[in-house]
Amino acid sequence: MKKFRSFARGGIHPPGNKGYTSDKPIRNAPLPATAVVPFSQHIGAPSKPLVAPGDHVEEAQMIGEPAGFISASVHSPIPGVVKEITSIYLPSGMKTEAAVIELDGEFSRLGKTHEDRDWVSMENTEILEILKNHGVVGQGGATFPSHVKFSVPKGRTCEVFLVNAAECEPYLSADHRVMLENTEDIIEGIRIIRKLLSPKRVIIGIEANKPDAIEVLKAAGEPEGIEIMPLKVKYPQGAEKNLIEATIGREVPSGKLPIEVGVINANVGTLVSVCEALRDDKPVIERVVTISGGAIAHPANIRVRVGSSIRDLIEECGGLTEEPAKFISGGPMMGFTFSNLDSPVIKGTSGILALTDKEVKHFAPTACLSCGRCIESCPMGLSPTTIFKNIEHERLDEATAYGLDDCVLCGSCAYACPAHIPLVSAFKAARGRKRRLSVRNKG
Amino acid sequence: MDRLPLISTSPQIHAPGSTRKVMLWVLAALTPAGIWSVVLFGLHAAIVIAASVAASVLTEGLLNLAFKRNNTLDDLSAVVTGVLIGFNMPPEIPVFIPVVAAVFAISVVKWSFGGLGANWMNPALAGRVFVFFSWGTDMTSWTLPGIGGVDAVSGPTPLGSLKVAMSSLSPGIDGPMRLLESAGIPTTYTDMFLGKMAGSLGEMSALLLLIGALVLIIIKVVDWEIPLTYLGSFALFMWAFDGLQYGGGLFSGDVLFHLFAGGLMLGALFMATDMVTSPLTRKGRIVFGIGCGFLTFVIRRYGNLPEGVSLAIIFMNILVPLINRFTKTKRYGVSS
């Protein structure tokens, strides 16, 4: 067997369950009659609303502008009338203002494709401005505004542009399908980023369980000097720091960003958005979402407008076959459970899962056996049990010394723990507590 | 919807294991050796094991009840402790002794430190050592197994005989097997491997214990590091130095005899591997295993007591926090 590259420490092998959807071509969801468009779909400051109730908006019209350095713009996915600006909770638990838009009027963009705008002769600042005005954010899950990410800080150079095509989360196949069906858009996106960053190398890191995607990317990318690196199927191969380790063998120093080791990376979905923003003058108003899980009648990959309700999407996939134990936004390892099916799809929604009891294996926690499975599975070389015990004893400084802040929240430890101890939950809570304490101490 | 969907923090899925399953597998792996002890020593063996299990479970249950703690019996760890205590008893032991051992193990060593996961010493071993030093005569009265209608008769263990015979070592005896022969209690490697010798209930058959442990290692309930390094380092030290006292040179020790005699297999495969009281990392477990092997060798070879497994493991249990401190994993992005 061929030996693929991988990260060195830990990692787990949860059942992939990608077979539900990986061979299902992307199909378009019906356009929503009502779109709920949050003003905060990204990391950073929420965008500033540009519309008020009663306003008429065009399809793809900017309705929220960036309100700060790290912020992104938001566009209307459908033409219509703004009914109200209201407060909603996203599946992640975040509270945000959202515009409720009722469909009305003509779709001006729908069906239009390649505009072939000339971006080659543009200045870099102009390209970044377009990314900013078209609401491009990272679509791997973190939703970091792209115009910030692709601005190399002064005194730094981007040596490697790393494309994250690992898609290591179980069930999800949206990126996989995008690679197969939008190959040219991805390559065009890479060309644009190449112009922006002028990296020495462009590497696509992809898990070896997608041989068809590896093949098409090789055919399209290798002539342009893009390296396609098949990686071992091991979770979390697509975690930023581990992907850097797996592909180029460098470790991002604790507490630093990837640019520290000369790397900037992006998810394949983000590259499609970059391409569409520059080439087609199209803002991010839709994305591909995997709808899957044992309780979904007909799992599928669907291209859907931002702001569509999750309930409609599940209906589009034939509804539920049984009461699911959990609804999840994102993948099962790092995604969020939610109960409100009227929540909207946002730019960062990679998947909607409805999992059965058999799939989630939910147990009440028992005492820690010190078996070391968590240490064995941690891709960051941490001792989750030690961090957890320090948190339990309110020793946040000790927990930090043991690497609380280096944890990437991948969930490998909690997945493997035979005592079902909610390790990730404790780490998230402890970090929140640390933040609040530091704010209070400053004040 | 009939019920609300679960709201939980990631990860939303989980590996199939649980504490209860771990304990169930350990119990399953111990079962053949338990059945063998009943075959060899009759009903009394079953009564001893059953009594120590009952005492362990009752002690933990009553303490939980009295101090209004959550029920912890479902994790089955008290049952495992009970079985191991039973396994560590001589065949003819009065039943109250394993009961006392179990009560001590659960109440003092396990429960008072916070229950499963919080004890820093293997409860079963602590219970055994407690009664060993309290009822020394009962704890060292051995019986030769009876098979096929033959009654069990009293007789010393190979290691016990060895310590006695060693005091009058005559020239020409080149190892433990010859020494036992000259002392009038000959044995063979096969008998020792299969458990046809005097000894504690559960330590009789190295073969059955090895099979059970191998299953646990294959299904990854137990890691290979401790059994291998414990047995390996012990064998190495015995091979290197045990020949000296019989007038042989270095590297002439009788490794097979020492591997199959006494409680070494039971200790190395099922007691030293207790997750709670062994180090967290694989590196740490290797250090721990070698330490156990070395100490068992030292006690057996130079100590007053014939055995040494219990004390060696307990001593290494105490060192676990220290071992953990020096065998941390190398962290990503942190230069050491």
Residue pLDDT, tens place only, A390-443:
999 999 999 999 999 999 999 999 999 999 999 999 999 999 999 999 888 876
Q: Is the pLDDT of residue B148 over 60?
A: no
Contact (CB<8Å) B8/A362: yes
Q: Which 285-344 residues of chain A touch chain B by CB within 8 A?
A: 323-328, 332-339
Contact (CB<8Å) B9/A375: no
**Distance of alpha carbon A228 from alpha carbon A211, whole angstroms:** 11
Both structure tokens of B65: 């009840």
pLDDT bucket at A345, cuts 50 / 70 / 90: very high
pLDDT given for residue A140 in this prediction? 81
Contact (CB<8Å) B15/A415: yes
Question: Phi and psi for A88 in degrees, rounded to 5?
Answer: -130, 165
pLDDT given for residue B279 in this prediction? 97
Helix (H, G, I), strand (E, B) or coil at A83: strand
The answer, for B68 touching chain A at a CB cutoff of 8 Å, is no
pLDDT given for residue A52 in this prediction? 96
pLDDT above 90 covers what percent of chain B?
69
Contact (CB<8Å) A367/B12: no
The answer, for A75 touching chain B at a CB cutoff of 8 Å, is no
Q: Is the pLDDT of residue A273 over 80?
A: yes
Condensed to tens digits (0 to 9), the pLDDT of residues B289-309 reads 999 999 999 999 898 887 889
Q: Provide the ipTM.
A: 0.91
pLDDT bucket at A61, cuts 50 / 70 / 90: very high
A329 closest CA partner among A94, A67, A37: A94
The answer, for A259 touching chain B at a CB cutoff of 8 Å, is no
Contact (CB<8Å) A370/B117: yes
pLDDT given for residue B336 in this prediction? 65
Q: Is the pLDDT of residue A79 over 60?
A: yes
Poorest-pLDDT segment among A219-233, B101-115, B137-151, B190-204: B137-151
pLDDT given for residue B147 in this prediction? 64
Contact (CB<8Å) A369/B275: yes
pLDDT bucket at B223, cuts 50 / 70 / 90: very high
What is the domain partition of chain B in residue ranges?
19-139, 147-323
Distance of CA B299 to the CA centre of its chain: 16
**Distance of alpha carbon A36 from alpha carbon A306, whole angstroms:** 8
Condensed to tens digits (0 to 9), the pLDDT of residues A124-140 reads 999 999 999 999 999 98
DSSP string spanning B42-74? -HHHHHHHHHHHHHHHHHHHHHHHHTTPPP-GG
Contact (CB<8Å) B12/A368: no
Q: Which 274-333 residues of chain B touch chain A by CB within 8 A?
A: 275-282, 328-333
Inter-chain CB pairs, A–B, below 8 Å = 169
Q: Is the pLDDT of residue B1 over 60?
A: no
CATH C-level class of A18-23+114-279: alpha beta
Nearest Cβ partner for B332 among A376, A380, A412: A380
pLDDT given for residue B151 in this prediction? 64
Q: What share of chain A is helix, strand, coil (3-state, %, to 5)?
A: 30, 20, 45
**Cβ neighbours of residue A310 closer than 8 Å, sequence gap 6 or more:** A327, A329, A338, A341, A342, A343, A344, A345, A352
Nearest Cβ partner for B7 among A324, A334, A337: A337
pLDDT given for residue B173 in this prediction? 83
The answer, for B116 touching chain A at a CB cutoff of 8 Å, is yes
E-only strand ranges, A33-164: 34-38, 48-49, 56-57, 62-65, 74-75, 80-89, 95-103, 160-164
Our CA-based measurement puts residue A173 at a distance from the nearest CA of chain B, in whole angstroms, of 17
pLDDT given for residue B2 in this prediction? 63
Q: Is the pLDDT of residue A362 over 90?
A: no
